[in-house]
Structure 1
Amino acid sequence: MTTFGERLARLREGKQLSQAKLGKLAGIKQSTIAQIERGRNQSTRRIIELAEVLDTTPNYLLNGVMDLSIVPSSSEIGSYSEKDMDNNDQGAYVKIPYYDISLSAGIGNATWIVRDNPEKLLFRKSWLQRRGLHEINLKAMYVRGESMEPLLYNMDTILLDISDTDIVDGSVYAIIFKGRLYIKALRNTEDGIDIISLHPDYECMRVTQETYSQFQVLGKMVWRGG
């Protein structure tokens, strides 16, 4: 896996920018760019500006994570720690923390717990507004397992809208079924609801009238990154 500095250098060279020119465009000293590329400086104070100049995302520069097909344009999302935002204009951005789900006995007893993780997803408010999304309804979480490959891979990140629980056939949701958490595609049928895995080694599950009381939709996936 490449480092922050290696990714920065490769993108800079691909743009045919000198370290001095990149520094001028992003508001960073040339010496700081050089130190980052050598691995001697991990400063992310101007990460938004660097990403915008290099036509990438802060999330890719810092973590090597590519924002996937349903994401906004390159400058509209990033992922980095709260302290790195201290010197940036935060007014146009919304920070979404990562969550885990705590399950207890009985349906409806799912609790969202903020992960002990300094990183947060960062979206432009304008992107949320265009999609009709509201910060209060958004939860970021990691995908576990391989059942949704090739759409989602283990430890990909997804963003859920917990206000959107009406099932649209083929869309992906976080659900609880029979006391377990799943990230799955759903489809309404005459006999109930199909819970669909994309990996061929995993069989479809079905919610029937008898098991509907053990089924709950937690939210719809509105973004994915891996």
Structure 2
Amino acid sequence: MTTFGKRVAKLREEKKLSQGELGKIAGVGQSTIAQIEKGRNKSTRKIIELAEALDTTPNYLINGVIDLSIAPASSEIGSYTEKDVDNPDMGAYVKIPYYDISLSAGIGNATWIVRDNPERLLFRESWLQSRRLNEATLKAMYVRGESMEPLLYNMDTILLDISDVDIVDGCIYAIIFKGKLYIKELRNTEDGIDIISYHPDYEPMHVTQETYDQFQVLGKMVWRGG
């Protein structure tokens, strides 16, 4: 598994930059780049500038997470510890925690629990506003399993809007069905709702009138990274 420092070094070498040249572009000293590449610095307050200098995203440098096709541009998204975020020079950002979901018996009993994780997804306020997203209704979580490959892989990160629960055919949602949590594509049908996996080894499930009371939409996926 690569580290923050190794990712920086690899991308710097691919761009044929010296440590000093990269530092100058990112606005840090050569010694800072050297410390990062040696693994002695796990982060930097210039993470956005460093990512832009390397033509990548802060999320990739820090976590090795690649922002996928519906992600914003590199300057719009990242994942940082609290000490990185508390920097007024970074502009207007919104921090989104990672959550787990606790299920108890019966429908409607899904509880969002903040993960014991110092990292936060970080979005520019302007990006949220352009997509009419409200930070109060956004939850970040990890994908589990392989049923949505090749769209989503195990431990990919997704961002959910829990205020958006009206089903739009072909969109991805977090749902509860028969007491289990799923991340699936949903499609309305004449007699119910199809719950669709992308991996060919997983058969579609179907919500009927008889099983509708065991079905609940928790939120719509509005961003993904893997």
- The normalised TM-score by structure 2 is 0.95
- Report % sequence identity: 83
Q: Which moved more, 1:186-195 or 1:75-84?
A: 75-84
Mapped to 2, the partners of 1:41 and 1:81 lie a distance apart of 13
Q: What does residue 125 of structure 1 align with?
A: 125
Change (3 A) 1:88 1:17: farther
SS in 2 for 1:89: helix
Q: What does residue 192 of structure 2 align with?
A: 192
Q: What does residue 159 of structure 1 align with?
A: 159
Q: What does residue 36 of structure 2 align with?
A: 36
Mapped to 1, the partners of 2:86 and 2:170 lie a distance apart of 40
Q: What does residue 59 of structure 2 align with?
A: 59
1:88: how far off? 4.7
Mapped to 2, the partners of 1:99 and 1:201 lie a distance apart of 28
- The normalised TM-score by structure 1 is 0.95
Q: Which moved more, 1:89-98 or 1:112-121?
A: 89-98
Question: For 1:194-213, what aligned pairs fall within 5 Å after superposition?
Answer: 194-213=194-213
1:16: how far off? 3.2
Confirm or deny: 8 A CA contact 2:43 2:62 kept in the other structure: no
SS in 2 for 1:105: coil
Mapped to 2, the partners of 1:42 and 1:91 lie a distance apart of 22
SS in 2 for 1:195: strand
Q: What does residue 134 of structure 1 align with?
A: 134
> Structure 1: 5+ residue runs without aligned partners?
none
SS in 1 for 2:158: strand
Mapped to 2, the partners of 1:172 and 1:80 lie a distance apart of 26
Mapped to 1, the partners of 2:172 and 2:160 lie a distance apart of 9
2:84 is aligned with 1:84: yes
Confirm or deny: 8 A CA contact 2:174 2:217 kept in the other structure: yes
Deviations 1:98-155 (A, max 9, x none): 0111111111111111111101101111111111111011000000111111100111
SS in 1 for 2:116: coil
2:171 is aligned with 1:171: yes
1:20: how far off? 1.5
1:216: how far off? 0.5
Paired residues, number: 226
Deviations 1:133-182 (A, max 9, x none): 11011000000111111100111000001111111111100001111111
SS in 2 for 1:21: helix
Amino acid of the structure 1 residue aligned with 2:100 = D
Deviations 1:77-109 (A, max 9, x none): 111211122335354111100011111111111
Q: What does residue 102 of structure 1 align with?
A: 102
SS in 1 for 2:181: strand
Confirm or deny: 8 A CA contact 1:55 1:75 kept in the other structure: no
Amino acid of the structure 1 residue aligned with 2:54 = L
Superposition CA RMSD, Å: 1.3
Confirm or deny: 8 A CA contact 1:46 1:88 kept in the other structure: no
